[in-house]
Amino acid sequence: MLIIKTTGLLSDFIEKQEEIGLSIGFVPTMGALHAGHISLITQSKSANDLTVCSVFVNPTQFNNKDDFNKYPITIEADIDKLEAAGCDVLFLPSVDEIYPPGIEFPLYELGYLETILEGKYRPGHYQGVCKVVDRLLSLVKPTILYLGQKDYQQCMVIKKMMELRNIHAAVHISETIREKDGLAMSSRNTRLSKAEREQAVKIYETLTFMKAELKKGSLTETEQKATDFLTANGFKVDYASYANANTLELISNWNGTTPIVILIAAYLDEVRLIDNFVLN
């Protein structure tokens, strides 16, 4: 696997691949790779001539300094995993490579998407995500961008950013990979204590409960029950909500036909976990 650390070398490399006409699959990550990331690499490999993965803990998307400082960094293990998965290129830039002095980004007009759920509870987060993904896409110029469904709202935000910026890569969203007990795989899971790790599965259980309870009419009582259940189990809940799976508009009264996504964000001590179920 080729490891490239500068934007200059990456651009030279990508230019050569473009000349030959190779298709490029791109998996952007913040490292601390797990089976969810590796499944994106595998999917990219099966559909593209070349797979590029980036590992960059993006400071502009952390609205909480402590969360940034404590973000797990496991680069040696990440390199081993990427090599074992057959990834072709790892882009491993420094902060100065991604954000050199003088670089400017637009204000991304994300509208409603930035005012609800993650947008509401993590102000500025999505502007930071848009900046880094915009920059990475301009360097990697992928044929297909691979994202995980666990970050459901992020997928919608990135698609919106690509529309705003006229970026034409295809976007492949891959289903969430779970631990045996149902907990969604996440780099942040490594920060959970043994007891918290056992508790964490309650998020999956709550999503399962909310799915079972979904019926036409008011959904607010079920949302409240879900929040109360998580709170009673030691979580600090940001939201446990039903939304329109296409627009992410929050739904408190369901007409029985609008496609639904159920989304939860909750803290165990200082570790913030998110998960969702998309209902067919």
Residues labelled catalytic: 37
Where does the chain have alpha helices with state H? Answer: 7-20, 35-47, 65-69, 75-85, 95-98, 117-121, 125-140, 152-164, 194-213, 220-232
CA–CA dist 279, 1 (Å, integer)? 38
Closer residue to ligand PAF, CB minimum distance, 161 or 226: 161
129 near ligand PAF, judged by CB under 6 A: yes
From residue 252, alpha-carbon distances to 153, 226, 227, 268 in Å are: 18, 14, 15, 26
Amino acid in the structure at residue 250: L
Least distance to ligand PAF from the beta carbon of 225, Å?
Answer: 30
Q: Which is nearer to ligand PAF, 150 or 202 (CB)?
A: 150
Strand duo 271-278 + 260-268: pairing? antiparallel
Instruction: Tell me how far apart the alpha carbons of residues 252 and 181 are, in angstroms, rounded to a whole number.
Output: 29
Among the candidate windows 4-12, 103-111, 126-134, 246-254, which touches ligand PAF by CB under 6 A?
126-134
Nearest approach in angstroms of CB 153 to ligand PAF is: 11
**Measured from the CB of residue 261, what is the shortest distance to ligand PAF in angstroms?**
17
Q: How would you list the strands of the sheet with 260-268, edge to edge?
A: 235-244, 260-268, 271-278
User: Given the rule CB under 6 A, which of 3-11, 24-32, 64-72, 87-95 is the region that contacts ligand PAF?
Assistant: 24-32
Strands 217-218, 253-254: parallel, antiparallel or unpaired by DSSP? antiparallel
**Least Å distance between CB 31 and ligand PAF?**
8
| Closest approach of ligand PAF to the CB of residue 34, in Å | 11
Considering the complex, state which of residue 37 and residue 202 has its C-beta at the smaller distance from ligand PAF: 37
Q: Are 145 and 137 in contact (CB under 8 A)?
A: yes
Within positions 138 to 167, which residues make up the interface with ligand PAF, using CB under 6 A?
A: 151, 154
Give the sheet arrangement for strand 170-174, strand by strand: 2-4, 89-91, 50-55, 24-29, 144-148, 170-174
Q: Toward ligand PAF, which CB reaches closer, 133 or 207?
A: 133
Shortest Å, Cβ 57 to ligand PAF: 8
Contact 209, 226 (CB under 8 A): yes
- Interaction residues for ligand PAF, span 63-82 (CB under 6 A): none
Size of the residue set binding ligand PAF (CB under 6 A) = 10
Tokens representing 132? 């880094």
Which 25-64 residues touch ligand PAF, going by CB under 6 A? 28-30, 58, 61
Nearer of residues 1 and 57 to ligand PAF, judged by Cβ: 57
Tell me which of 14, 89, 133, 177 binds ligand PAF, using CB under 6 A. 133
Where residue 45 falls (left for φ over 0; alpha for ψ -120 to 50; beta otherwise) is alpha
Rank residues 129 and 177 by Cβ distance to ligand PAF and give the closer one: 129
Summarize as ranges the residues that interact with ligand PAF (CB under 6 A).
28-30, 58, 61, 129, 132-133, 151, 154
